[in-house]
């Protein structure tokens, strides 16, 4: 079969364990764990994969990316990962994998795990630093402090891993103007990174901590100006933006797994509270560990299901496409949804044309407009 006819899928594996809860984080995680739990959890991940793969046709669908996220995947020892990957690659073909990302938190980066990960040619790591400002790190309850960050950067620098991404968060409490630039330059002095993700601190306005932090965070004007200043700094380093929050030095370092999400490809999510999406159905697994084990044992998933009708899929196509720098592929939209994009959305395009770049069958957002993207994107949802 022609390679173009083979559908490529992403595989996401959720590791729902963290030593300590960061105050800004609303991801689900358990703080009680040991090696026995990790081994048991991975054995259920394998069982879940075997069950879910029954919905796929391996003659025209292959898994080509793996993303192990959390939580804190770096909490788990290399030996346990080795057992897990030996089993995983008995089920899925290792030769099809083009990228496998492991998320690391600085306090749990260790040489054994990194050496093991480096044994796969397709490995990529994503290190969550967020900031190097100790006062901020304390305020947000990050377990990693600057000494942990330094130690992690030293271990990474001494390893053979090349495909490295680092996460930063802008506008954290106690971060002043210029802090994110300092954070990025600090990391770059120590390791060579090919990719970075830069997020705005986002929390629900009703969150009590958010209310407290409002007094400790840059005001909106300063925050936007500093974000733009940081963007210019990132560009001056040779990174290009390919998604609202993601930058790479070269196309080969774009996150291939995350592109599956942004391109609306199917993906399988495994583990507690993991999401997956295939056959126009999105599911979210239970976040209760006992219910999860019980559900897998009974081959009866405890999960929330959402059917993606054409209206939802159109909205998501536009939303996800406008997050990417390349924007909406008009030819693809017309083909997938069997309607003319310009006919349907002419009013919105007219209203927001000063924020849009329209060229060669693509419509994208101006770089600066990405900061107000929510308003613009939501107006497409008619």
Residues near ligand SF4, by CB under 6 A: 18, 21-22, 25, 27, 29, 70-72, 105, 128
Question: What is the closest distance, in whole angstroms, from the C-beta atom of residue 251 to ligand SF4 in the complex?
Answer: 28
Contacts of 12 (CB under 8 A, 6+ apart): 66, 67, 69, 257, 267, 268, 269, 270, 274, 275, 276
Question: What is the closest distance, in whole angstroms, from the C-beta atom of residue 140 to ligand SF4 in the complex?
Answer: 9
Phi, psi of 61 (to 5 degrees): -135, 130
Using the minimum distance from each CB to ligand SF4, give the nearer residue, 144 or 231.
144
Query: What is the edge-to-edge ordering of all strands in the sheet holding 240-243?
Result: 240-243, 246-248, 195-200, 164-170, 123-130, 99-104, 61-70, 7-15, 267-270, 275-278, 281-285, 303-307
Q: Which residue has the tokens 């998933």?
A: 301
Tell me the residue length of the chain: 382
Question: What is the closest distance, in whole angstroms, from the C-beta atom of residue 70 to ligand SF4 in the complex?
Answer: 5
Using the minimum distance from each CB to ligand SF4, give the nearer residue, 77 or 240.
77
CA pair distance 376, 113, nearest whole angstrom: 43
Using the minimum distance from each CB to ligand SF4, give the nearer residue, 207 or 378.
207
Using the minimum distance from each CB to ligand SF4, give the nearer residue, 141 or 347.
141
Using the minimum distance from each CB to ligand SF4, give the nearer residue, 103 or 266.
103
Question: What is the closest distance, in whole angstroms, from the C-beta atom of residue 272 to ligand SF4 in the complex?
Answer: 12
| 221-199-170 Cα angle (round to 5) | 50
Using the minimum distance from each CB to ligand SF4, give the nearer residue, 224 or 275.
275
Using the minimum distance from each CB to ligand SF4, give the nearer residue, 58 or 207.
207
Question: What is the closest distance, in whole angstroms, from the C-beta atom of residue 105 to ligand SF4 in the complex?
Answer: 5
Using the minimum distance from each CB to ligand SF4, give the nearer residue, 61 or 284.
284
CB of 96 within 8 A of CB of 62? yes
**Crossing angle of helices 146-158/111-118, nearest 10°?**
40
Using the minimum distance from each CB to ligand SF4, give the nearer residue, 29 or 223.
29
Using the minimum distance from each CB to ligand SF4, give the nearer residue, 29 or 255.
29
Question: What is the closest distance, in whole angstroms, from the C-beta atom of residue 375 to ligand SF4 in the complex?
Answer: 27
- Please count the CA atoms within 13 angstroms of the CA of 168 that sit on its side-chain side: 27
């Amino acid at each position: 079969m022609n390679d173009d006819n083979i559908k490529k899928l992403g595989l996401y594996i959720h590791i729902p364990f963290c030593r300590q809860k960061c105050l800004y984080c609303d991801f689900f995680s358990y703080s009680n764990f040991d090696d026995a739990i990790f081994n048991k959890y991975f054995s259920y991940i394998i069982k879940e994969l075997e069950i879910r793969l029954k919905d796929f046709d391996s003659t025209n669908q292959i898994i080509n990316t793996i993303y192990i996220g959390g939580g804190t995947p770096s909490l788990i020892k290399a030996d346990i990962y080795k057992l897990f990957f030996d089993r995983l690659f008995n089920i899925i073909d290792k030769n099809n994998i083009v990228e496998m990302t492991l998320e690391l938190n600085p306090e749990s980066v260790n040489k054994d795990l990194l050496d093991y990960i480096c044994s796969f040619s397709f490995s990529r790591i994503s290190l969550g630093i967020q900031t190097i400002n100790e006062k901020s790190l304390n305020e947000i309850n990050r377990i990693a402090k600057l000494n942990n960050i330094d130690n992690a950067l030293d271990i990474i620098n001494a390893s053979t891993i090349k495909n490295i991404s680092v996460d930063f968060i802008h506008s954290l409490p106690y971060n002043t103007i210029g802090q994110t630039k300092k954070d990025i330059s600090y990391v770059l002095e120590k390791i060579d990174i090919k990719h970075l993700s830069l997020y705005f601190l986002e929390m629900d306005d009703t969150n009590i901590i958010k209310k407290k932090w409002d007094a400790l965070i840059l005001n909106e004007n300063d925050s936007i100006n500093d974000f733009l200043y940081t963007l210019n700094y990132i560009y001056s380093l040779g990174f290009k933006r390919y998604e609202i929050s993601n930058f790479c030095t070269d196309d080969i370092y774009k996150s291939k797994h995350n592109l599956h999400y942004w391109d609306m490809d199917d993906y399988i999510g495994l583990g507690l509270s993991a999401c997956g999406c295939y056959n126009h159905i999105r599911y979210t697994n239970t976040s209760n560990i006992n219910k999860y084990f019980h559900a897998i044992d009974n081959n009866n998933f405890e999960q929330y299901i959402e059917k993606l009708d054409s209206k939802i899929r159109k909205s998501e196509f536009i939303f996800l496409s406008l997050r990417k720098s390349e924007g909406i592929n008009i030819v693809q939209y017309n083909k997938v949804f069997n309607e003319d994009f310009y006919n349907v959305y002419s009013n919105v395009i007219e209203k927001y044309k000063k924020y849009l770049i329209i060229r060669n069958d693509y419509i994208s957002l101006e770089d600066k407009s990405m900061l107000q993207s929510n308003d613009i994107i939501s107006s497409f949802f008619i």
